[in-house]
Structure 1
Amino acid sequence: MVEIDGHRLKLTNLDKVLYPETGTTKADVIGYYNAIADVMIPHVRDRAATRKRWVHGVGTADHPGEVFFQKNLDEGTPSWVKRRTIKHKTSSNDYPLVNDRSTLIWLAQIASLEVHVPQWRISRNGTPKNPDRLVLDLDPGEGVTLVDCAEVAQLARDILVDMGLDPMPVTSGSKGIHLYAALDGSQTSDQISAVAHELARALEADHPDLVVSDMKRAIRAGKVFVDWSQNSAAKTTIAPYSLRGRLHPTVAAPRTWRELASKKLAHLDYTEVLARVKRRGDPLADLSAGHLDEEVHGAAEDRLTTYRSKRDAAKTPEPVPEDTPHSTSGRTFVIQEHHARRLHWDFRLEHDGVLVSWALPKGPPTDPGQNHLAVHVEDHPLEYGAFEGDIPHGEYGAGHVTIWDAGDYDVEKWRDDKEVIVTLHGTPGGGLGGDRKFALIHTGGEGKAAQNWLIHLMKQDDATGTTKSTAKSAKGTTKSTAKSTANSTKSTTKKAPTTASARTTASDTTITGAPISPMLATLGSVADVHDEEDWAFEMKWDGIRAIAEVRGGALRLSTRNGNDVTRSYPELSTLVDVVGDHDAVLDGEIVTLDPRGRPDFGILQTRMGLTKAAEVEAAMKRAPVHYMVFDLLELDGESLRSRTYDERRAALAKNVTPPRGHAVQVPPAFDGDLEHAVDSSRELGLEGVMAKRRDGTYATGRRSRTWIKIKHHRMAEVVIAGWRPGNGRRANAVGALLLGIPDGDELRYVGKVGTGFTDAMLDDLKTRLSAHPRKTSPLTDVPSLDARDAHWVRPELVGEVEFAEWTPTNRLRQPSWRGLRLDKSIADINPE
């Protein structure tokens, strides 16, 4: 049982072989879709997905596996899978929308190896929009190669460019090549199909010996068939980055035009695609990035358009954000008492970046035997969850608004425009009086009545703990029974082999005096490195910075903030042997490695802060650390800080020479240019690259632009200022941390983080934070909704989060917890 973006999913039969010829298992397939989700989802978002499933695997050449197409969703589909109903001529089908990682992994779990989507997206009411891309399928006939298809692709490209389009190629993973071009959404599918058909005919007329545009299979031998028909509204195409159900696990892989010019052009399997994306990103990114922005073409759907149209930000105190809402996985709710022309209660649930809202004329029901009317109204911005105040006379919804209750909720079922079942966890003293479970059922009316739903309080059986619903819809009685099940997950940690014998006792000699502060780098980008010959490039290690002092046969390891951590990492005492007869001061990074030999900060978290001998001994066996040395500051009492980087590195290479596989290593500087250094870092799964000026000296304790850190992902160091309790099994534990960063003399609120934790992390955080309580918030600018049930603490602990970007209001968007930074203090935080 796993949790993905807040959704629980059971994964089964992970060792089942789905591709017998390569031994590729179901776990491999799930792993691929998990790793590729970030680049694949933009190309399939809001498109009705048809699936090809190989439940028992693809089989072999002699015994092919059974495959079937699936359009409609079945009863086993998780309730959190987004879906849309599309009406066809003779039937209606419920299609999944592959809008998030959890849905993509669910498809892999049910062996949907291939995902096929149309060239159009679907609106919230199930109506297909105009296509936002054109596609040509270049299909090789008998005797034709992929290189021949690439030649036709180049010919088609010349025509499309003359039309003002910028085509992008995808090797299909099956036979041929797909060409995609972004459109502005102003033409219908029939119009685009007609244009594509004429383009195919033009190619055939100019190159009759190479191209055919006729659908007849009998005339395709020796030629490339330019299939224009997939632009039809009724057709689908294999999605970019989808696996193929071939004998080998090939992928519909986006390529560059430079690659298509190669005589060695070939289809790629999933391992090759993953390596390429890590190294180069997505060559097809422009296809789904910005072509349908509301402000450019007016074709993209903004869920707050109706909300804004009813409000004037200059006249009402209500929040009226200009930005298009981004998808979120949050689960907050608010019920507001609204004294407008008629008293009513506004019932709002955070869902997919907005507050989905209903107006309740009689408020939430308090009797399971009495249902209330719920009128579905326009989506509201998330900021509305904290709104209280007076809407002026003459404005939409004029009257007084107060928060009646607010909190978090758990979802049991969410079927857009049909049914929603949620359990609300109200605030102590709030209007709900605690936890309440509600079902909202659409009555299925037409016209104005289409807005009408029923809201039903589900009955709690005190004896069994189960709930029953007897909500009646206009079509009959809907009965739902919710079962409460306890799921336990066990995590096992694979023991990593120790690379050297480690000393478990410290030397009797003690190093005294103030610890040395390390030189600090400045966050930058490739653009900050002008003349590459003046710079050296090193890999950036994902660990904790430590200065190692070896004096008189003794070792002291100290972190950035001066903490002595020598006893926490006894295996690094072998550094004394590595230095030999010398005294030395070294700069490096303490890291733990995963089974693939890559730094893993999560594993390192299990070592940080341990001081008891028994705990350290056990942790050392479970998760041994390594020390990556990259600078030499002193040698036998002589300071090298004023020497250049090149001189210090030469001295380091000469005097610190650990054997291969030792716990102490001296990684070499990268031999090549910056582009290849960045690509190599990505391919190795590292954090980024350090660019260091060759003529730069070592600036002890200072941040300098002679060291530039170039990261692949955005990360921030933050201060923990408080925490909010969770729900369910985390009801008495930390559910989310409230974070801040220094801003002058104040600590400015930057958001909350509730993902990225392990159970061990949560237990440790609860213990640490409970020891440092305070009554008031140390933060400025905290929304009341975020602060309502907060436990404030003294702002002393520093942590690190990974996040997507900063919002216009200076909040962290989509933060994920990486861990505590016990090696840092608030003074070390540099809000970069």
Structure 2
Amino acid sequence: MAGSHQMVTIGGRRIRLSSLDRVLYPSTGTTKGDVIGYCSAIAPVMLPHCRDRAATRKRWPRGVGEDGSADFFFQKDLGEGAPDWVETRSIQHRDHVNRYPLVNDEATLVWLAQLSALEVHVPQWRFGRGDEQLPPDRMVLDLDPGEGVGLRECAQVARLVRDILADMGLESIPVTSGSKGIHLYAALDGRQSSDEVSAVARELARSLEADHPDEVTSSMKRSLRPGKVFIDWSQNNASKTTVAPYSLRGRVRPTVAAPRTWRELASPHLRQLEYHEVLQRVERRGDPLAAIAERAAGGGERLDRLSRYRSMRDAGVTPEPVPERIEVRPRGGDLEPLRFVIQRHEARRLHYDFRLEHDGVLVSWALPKGVPTDPARNHLAVPTEDHPMEYRFFEGEIPKGEYGAGTVEIWDSGTYELEKWREDEVIATLTGTAGGGLGGTRRLALFRTQPDPKPSWMIHLMELKTGGADRQNHAGMRPMLATRASPEQLERLDEQRWAFEMKWDGIRALATLDGGDVGLMSRSGAEITDAYPELGRLAEVVAADGAVLDGEIVAFGEDGAPSFGRLQTRMGLSGAREVARARSVAPVSLLLFDVLSVNGEDCRRLAYEQRRGLLLEMIDDDPAVPVALPPAFEGDAAEAIAASRRLHLEGIVAKRRESPYRSGARSLDWLKIPLFETAEVVVVGWRRSEADALGLASLLLATVHDGELRYAGRVGTGFSNADRRAIRRRLSGIEQASPPVAVPGADRVDAHWVTPELVAEVTYKQLTASGRLRQAVWRGWRPDKSVDDVADPVVAAVGAGEGA
């Protein structure tokens, strides 16, 4: 877990981990990376105790503090920003509904750790199908030591509770809570309600209190607890939660709610265990609490997802598989892929049965009109009972008089990649067999249309997501272009309707993100990824698995302003060695300003302000990664231009707030006004024109630096054809054989040299570190100036910005 940011894949889920070096437990130096590592390692034994239970999280965003008293907060509702793949269920509270995550897989547990949710609390009951709350599958008694009482006294009371539970036919297993006390777990058969279990637990506590009044109390009054062990029976209330076994605790040290053996509880050295000790114990001994989880997962009829399926079939008559139990496959790792089957079922009416593997069964829907083939037409999907996994192989004739009587044939089967599974929506990409009914790979969504007791579901054909290999072929994914505007147009711009951004002096690039892969494409469509390897870290700061982003690649100079001259040293390089050498002296950054798509969803129709808001949510600020989202400018156009001048930038861009992103188009919704400088220059040569034998292509220029002439580049724009011929005639009388200043070899080709005596004026965008005038434009001769009058160019911003 080294480093500050990482992208990891767990069970096919991509998770962005950040701030891994942040210390969450100062007393031991335990970092967020250590916490995430623990959660990943402990997942195989922790998940069975959390599965299908509403998870309340206790979060310490800044760590527990030196003395364990740092601020924390409980979080029940899932909130915004959770990955789509996190399974959720909803609970109707008195005046609101909360949506809770289910900690059913390693990826979810790690994601919670990334949020600094050190503690996970769950109830003693599980969800059934949808939001159904099943009866509790376990009883929990919390033994809490009062003042003057320690863990040994809790262990003594725990043995008393164990004996009573054993007389009731319940085996109990202790868990040192990681805080002060001990939790006792006992598996139930699922036939009692939470109220009934809570009443039994209360009577147990009262009976022990009656037998041992000096050692035990069952009262909720804190004033009665000193010197005694409080047996908290209320943990079995349906609305109460208990810290999950193997969860970390937000204490001074990184202790854990650790399942123990009764032999350990008899030790005089009994203490709370820390996370590294728990990992070692699990590796050596396994999970002492496993029997409780196994009975809950497979024993009780209330958790048997095939009970309805069996009740509808006579195993002695139907040829359908009717297994006695569910074989649940391991979860949380990259094991075998998830499977599906679609069966053509000619019963009373022809329909298709659509079945997806999930939690050890085939979750099923009946499709009266089959799988949709047109994205514009949704089909009805009727939820049916869960089917056993063996059913994916079933073909045959169901006898008359049996449920579903008729002929069943496999229409297609194969594997699927799960994108989202929620109680009201499932999205999956199915890949069937060669020659199967799907005809290839299909991305399908099932969704509930109404939250009534008998919900109506639909199935929808979606577009396939574009993979990384196709990142340069996103349909229409080309940069939007701005129209040049004059400073005078600024007066007509209303900042309520227009946003203003700084114009960065670099090269335009579209960045594509596909998982952890990053691609860069120039404005012309050329692949430039290999030229800027440092920008491959883009994935570390983007909170999405896939995206197409618009931005500018810039190289900053020593003064902190973008330096096009420095950036030029990175352009056109292809060899890894030369790129590495150039990178060492001229590193680049990617400044983002727009988003075209996120996770396969096209964002270009969204208004500019919506896209900007999406960017703010997606992009994290990490100084270690050369990617940034420049802050929005607050103010009007004139103030934006003034800011651009102060910052020595290229100009400004005005963007209509309600405008969409028009790929490949030069639009009046984006207006640019660059800022230019003027300079006095000395003409030192000219280059022949291939288009006009009597004209010229460009002039070679020099400026004065420290009293001497220094080559300053070429100017090839700003002339009319008549100007070019007139200048050529004027220069023909002062030609000389050799260049009057040192000129690079590339610029010497086809050059004609002249005596350095004529002064002219040009505008330019930037004076590079080497003294070159970038994007110079001819303005005219300066007959009032001599070479001795020519001053050093001043590097400052002049001109106006953009608008319209």
Q: TM-score, normalised by structure 1?
A: 0.53
Match of residue 412 from structure 1: 419
SS at match of 1:99: coil
Q: For 1:290, what is the secondary structure of its paired residue?
A: helix
* 1:267 to 2:272 alignment: yes
**In 2, are the aligned partners of 1:360 and 1:375 still within 8 Å (CA)?**
yes
CA distance in 2, matches of 1:461, 1:255: 47
Three-state SS of the structure 1 residue aligned to 2:17 is: coil
Q: Distance in 2 between matches of 1:392 and 1:197?
A: 52
2:170 partner SS:
coil
Tell me which residue corresponds to 2:249: 244
State the distance in 1 between where 2:15 and 2:390 align: 30
2:28 aligned with 1:37: no
2-structure distance, mates of 1:355, 1:164: 34
Q: Structure 1, unaligned stretches of length 5 or more?
A: 468-482, 491-727, 729-832
The residue aligned with 1:373 is 380
Letter of the aligned partner of 1:50 in structure 2?
A: T
Say if 2:390 is the partner of 1:388: no
Paired residue type of 2:516: S
> Distance in 2 between the 1:119 and 1:361 partners?
39
Q: CA deviation at 1:411?
A: 2.4
SS in 2 for 1:286: helix
1:455 to 432, 453, 459: 459
For residues 99 and 382 of structure 1, the distance between their equivalents in structure 2, rounded to whole angstroms, comes to 19
**How many residues are treated as equivalent by the alignment?**
469
The structural deviation recorded for 1:351 is 2.1
Match of 1:311 in 2: 313
Who is 1:133 aligned against? Answer: 138
Question: Partner of 2:440 in structure 1?
Answer: 434
Contact 2:296–2:303 under 8 Å retained in 1? no
* 1:423 partner amino acid: T
User: Which of 110, 126, 130 is the matching residue for 2:115?
Assistant: 110
Distance (whole Å) between structure 1 residues aligned to residue 248 and residue 414 of structure 2: 41
- Per the alignment, residue 15 of structure 1 pairs with 21
* Residue number in structure 2 paired with 1:179: 184
After superposition, the Cα gap between the structure-2 partners of 1:201 and 1:359, relative to the gap in structure 1 and judged at 3 Å, is closer
The offset of 1:15, in angstroms, is 2.0
1:305-361 C-alpha deviation (Å, 9 max, x unpaired): 222333334444333333324146632223222333222222222222222222222
CA contact (8 A) 1:185 1:292 kept: no
Instruction: Check if 1:299 corresponds to 2:311.
Output: no
Confirm or deny: 8 A CA contact 1:303 1:325 kept in the other structure.
no
Query: Relative to 1, partners in 2 of residues 1:57 and 1:445: Cα closer, same or farther, differing over 3 Å?
Result: closer
Which has the larger displacement, 457-466 or 379-388? 457-466
Q: Does 2:306 correspond to 1:278?
A: no
Q: Cα distance 1:389–1:194, how it changes in 2: closer, same or farther (>3 A)?
A: closer
* Contact 1:17/1:23 (<8 A) preserved: yes
Show CA shifts across 1:75-97 (max 9, x none).
Answer: 32222222222222222222222
- In structure 2, the partner of 1:808 is none
Deviation at 1:461, TM superposition (A): 10
Taking a change above 3 Å as real, the CA distance of residues 144 and 345 of structure 1, as seen in their structure-2 partners, is same
Summarize the alignment of residues 144-159 of structure 1 with structure 2, pairs less than 5 Å apart. 144-159=149-164
The Cα shift of 1:23 comes to: 0.8
- Give the conservation status (yes or no) of the 8 Å contact 1:241–1:253: yes
Distance 2:428 2:39 in 1: 29
1:217 to 216, 222, 244: 222
* Paired AA for residue 156 in structure 1: V
SS at match of 1:15: coil
Which whole-Å deviations, capped at 9, do the CAs of 1:83-122 have from their partners, x for residues lacking one?
2222222222222222222222222222111111112222
**C-alpha separation between the residues in 1 aligned to 2:119 and 2:77?**
15
Structure 2 unaligned spans of 5+: 1-6, 332-336, 467-472, 478-510, 519-598, 600-804
> Counterpart of 1:248 in 2: which secondary structure?
coil
Q: CA deviation at 1:270?
A: 0.8
Percent identity between matched residues is 64
Q: How far is 1:252 from its partner?
A: 1.0
In the TM superposition, residue 442 of structure 1 has moved relative to its aligned partner by: 0.8
Q: Which has the larger radius of gyration?
A: 2
What secondary structure does 1:369 align onto?
coil
Mapping of residues 251-262 of structure 1, within 5 Å: 251-262=256-267
Query: What is the distance in 2 between the residues matched to 1:120 and 1:380?
Result: 23
Counterpart for residue 641 of structure 2: none
Q: 1:120 is paired with a residue of what secondary structure? A: coil
Moved more, 170-179 or 454-463: 454-463
Q: CA deviation at 1:293?
A: 4.5
Query: Could you tell me which amino acid in structure 2 is paired with residue 385 of structure 1?
Result: R
2:341 matched to which residue of 1?
334
**Whole-angstrom CA distance in 1 between matches of 2:421 and 2:377:** 22
Q: Deviations over 1:265-295 (max 9, x none)?
A: 211111111112222222222222326745x
2: CA distance, partners of 1:465 / 1:382: 40
Q: How big is each residue's C-alpha offset from its partner over 1:141-170, in whole Å with a ceiling of 9 and x where there is no partner?
A: 222222222222233333333333333221
Which residue of 2 is the match for residue 487 of structure 1? Answer: 515
Q: 1:328–1:353: 8 Å Cα contact kept in structure 2?
A: no
Asked if the contact 1:168/1:180 (under 8 Å) is kept, the reply is yes
Q: Distance in 2 between matches of 1:461 and 1:52?
A: 36
Q: Which amino acid aligns with 1:162?
A: D
Aligned residue for 2:166, secondary structure, equals helix
Matches within 5 A, 1:761-772: none
- State yes or no: 1:52 paired with 2:62: no
The structure 1 segments of at least 4 consecutive aligned residues displaced by more than 6 Å after TM superposition are 460-463
Contact 1:304/1:379 (<8 A) preserved: yes
- Residue 325 of structure 2 corresponds to 323
- Structure 2 CA distance for partners of 1:408 and 1:132, relative to 1, 3 Å: closer
Distance 1:285 1:328, change over 3 A: closer
For the structure 1 residues 166 and 364, does the alpha-carbon distance in structure 2 shift closer, same or farther, using more than 3 Å as the test? closer
Contact 1:328 1:352 (C-alpha < 8 Å) held by counterparts: no
Whole-angstrom distance in 2 between the partners of 1:109 and 1:254? 24
Q: What CA deviation, in whole Å up to 9, does each residue of 1:18-45 have, x standing for no partner?
A: 1111011122112212222222222222
Q: Is the contact made by 1:35 and 1:274 (CA closer than 8 Å) also made in structure 2?
A: yes
- Taking a change above 3 Å as real, the CA distance of residues 112 and 342 of structure 1, as seen in their structure-2 partners, is same
In 2 relative to 1, CA 459–312 (structure 1 residues): closer, same or farther, beyond 3 Å? same
Residues 76 and 200 of structure 1: CA distance in aligned 2, closer, same or farther (over 3 Å): same
Identify if the C-alpha distance between structure 1 residues 358 and 155 changes in structure 2 by more than 3 Å, giving closer, same or farther: closer
8 Å Cα contact 1:173-1:244 kept in structure 2: yes
Partner amino acid, structure 2, of 1:458: M
- Aligned-residue RMSD, C-alpha: 2.8
Q: What amino acid sits opposite 1:332 in the alignment?
A: R
Matched to 2:199, the amino acid is A
1:242/1:252 contact within 8 Å kept:
yes
Q: CA deviation at 1:242?
A: 0.9
Alpha-carbon distance between aligned partners in 1 of 2:282 and 2:55, rounded to the nearest angstrom: 23
Alpha carbons of structure 1 residues 487 and 236: separation in structure 2 relative to 1, 3 Å = same
Return the letter of the residue paired with 1:169.
Answer: P
Tell me the distance in 1 between the aligned counterparts of 2:118 and 2:451: 38
Q: 345, 353, 360: which one pairs with 2:352?
A: 345
Alpha-carbon distance between aligned partners in 1 of 2:320 and 2:353, rounded to the nearest angstrom = 14
CA distance, structure 2, for counterparts of residue 18 and residue 220 of structure 1: 32
> Which residue of structure 1 lines up, in the alignment, with residue 587 of structure 2?
none
Amino acid at match of 1:486: D
1:424 to 1:257, Cα distance in 2 relative to 1, 3 A: closer
1:484 Cα deviation from its structure 2 partner: 9.0
- Contact 2:134/2:302, CA 8 A, preserved across alignment: no
Residues of 1 paired with 2:408 and 2:207: CA distance? Answer: 64
Q: Residue 184 of structure 1 contacts residue 292 of structure 1 at CA under 8 Å; is this kept in 2?
A: no
Which amino acid is 2:408 matched to?
Answer: V
Give the distance between the partners of 1:460 and 1:200, measured in 2 at CA: 58
Q: CA deviation at 1:459?
A: 4.7
Task: Sort the Cα spacing of 1:164 and 1:420 in 2 relative to 1 into closer, same or farther, 3 A.
Answer: closer
Given the superposition, is the C-alpha separation of residues 465 and 267 from structure 1 closer, same or farther in structure 2, using an over 3 Å criterion? farther
Taking a change above 3 Å as real, the CA distance of residues 445 and 204 of structure 1, as seen in their structure-2 partners, is: closer
Q: Does residue 167 of structure 2 align to residue 162 of structure 1?
A: yes
SS in 1 for 2:210: helix
Distance 2:443 2:406 in 1: 29
